[in-house]
Structure 1
Amino acid sequence: MLNVGSQRDGQWSFARPSFVLLAVLLPMVVGGCNGIDTNGGPSFTTEVATETLHAGAVNVDQIDRGQYGDIVEGTQTVLRDEETYASFWERLHADRNSVPDRPEVDFEEKVVVAIVLGRRSTGGYGVEIDEVLASDGGGRIQVQFAETVPGNNCVVTQALTSPYVLATVEAQDEDFTFEGAEETRSC
């Protein structure tokens, strides 16, 4: 076992002087590794993929929004066909005495974007789609949405809620991503 050092009479004494030398030189050697090669340029490269997204390039129409959806787990999804849309609609409105009629959607031209926040313990929560952005070359669409949260001084209903929003988007095979932001409502 290496005896690094001990304290006697308020002073430190080291068993091996080479340990002190190593402790002093090691940070200098490691600190000297700065990623520059012998030619003075960086010895590493970093590539960053960028993609420009444009607002207004995609038509969006809200078709349903509410506070009391029956889907209690949060989800962000794209419904691309009538069968999936019908099933989702039935689940979303299952707690009602009668399920409202589904808005018609032409799935040859559009898809349905659905955002469900999931169960919340009180009222005062909401969700809306702020913007839908399309990439330059097509192929990718980003849905930006905002979740509204009640502030500390808000008077809200004491009921379980599950806020949701559905919208049609002119798109077909594009990949969708969702980006949410939280906004606190002051009362």
Structure 2
Amino acid sequence: MSATIPFQTIDFGYTPLEEQFIPQPQVFIFTNHVTWEQLWQSSKILDLNLQKPPAPQFDFKRQTLIGLTSGSRSTGGYALRIDKIEVVTSAEGDSWILHYTELVPGRNCLVTQSPTTPTAFIAVEVPVLPIKLQGKTVSMEC
């Protein structure tokens, strides 16, 4: 029997990861304000004052933020959900398997014709171990 790591799903609304082109699934780990701010400063989005919006505040003393993208897609209509984090032990040491589901638009769904990069963020309260990804795809009906 394997252990699971509790996590909290964080919804920032839009994030700068969504506008980047990332060809393959990728994990981003944020352990401090510096790297978190760097991500937000990479955004092309401007607020009503034509300024880059500040990064959402987060308590890095208590938690680590993990961002996941399933990779860029040619249209809209995609979403991403993190299902669980499983701890596995091997001869190389402990690691995590991050299980996720990518929701893809069904054949009859209307989608935007602009590229998108589905992302999800979670917070954990334990030190992060090396992460392997285990994804599945589920088609949504419209």
Verify same fold: TM over 0.5. Answer: yes
Q: 1:175 — aligned with what?
A: 130
Aligned CA distance change for structure 1 residues 167 and 100 (closer, same or farther; 3 Å):
farther
C-alpha offsets along residues 66-98 of structure 1, whole Å, 9 cap, x if unaligned? 48822111422222222222212333xx12113
Q: Compare CA radii of gyration and give the structure with the larger one.
A: 1
Percent identical residues: 23
Uncovered stretches (5+) of structure 1, i.e. residues with no partner: 1-51
Q: 1 CA distance for matches of 2:2 and 2:11?
A: 24
Determine the C-alpha separation between the residues in 2 that align with 1:105 and 1:88: 14
Deviations 1:135-172 (A, max 9, x none): 58x94333211111111121112222222122211122
Distance 1:66 1:133, change over 3 A: farther
Between the two structures, name the one with larger relative contact order (CA 8 Å, sep ≥ 6): 2
Which aligned segments of 4 or more residues in structure 1 are displaced greater than 6 angstroms? Answer: none
1:90/1:116 CA distance change after superposition, 3 Å:
farther
Q: Which structure carries more helix by proportion?
A: 1
Confirm or deny that 1:101 pairs with 2:49: no
Q: Secondary structure in 2 aligned to 1:102?
A: coil
Structure 1 residue 64 and structure 2 residue 3: aligned? Answer: no
**Counterpart mapping for 1:36-55 below 5 A:** 52-55=1-4
* Alignment pair present for 1:77 and 2:32: no
2:112 maps to 1:149 = no
CA distance in 1, matches of 2:34, 2:94: 24
Query: Structure 1 127/142 Cα, relative in aligned 2: closer, same or farther at 3 Å?
Result: same
**Distance verdict in 2 for CA 1:157–1:71, change over 3 Å:** same
1:129 Cα shift?
1.2
**Which amino acid in structure 2 is aligned with residue 78 of structure 1?**
I
Aligned residues: 132
Equivalent position of 1:18 in the other structure: none
Distance in 2 between residues matched to 1:132 and 1:90, nearest whole Å: 29
Quick check: 77-86 or 97-106, which moved more? Answer: 97-106
SS in 2 for 1:89: helix
Provide the C-alpha distance between the structure 1 equivalents of 2:140 and 2:114, rounded to a whole number of angstroms. 18
Counting only pairs closer than 5 Å after superposition, residues 112-151 of structure 1 correspond to structure 2 as: 112-135=65-88, 139-151=94-106
Normalised by the size of structure 1, how large is the TM-score?
0.59
Q: Of 39, 49, 55, which aligns to 1:88?
A: 39
Cα gap change, 1:119 to 1:173, in 2 (>3 Å): closer
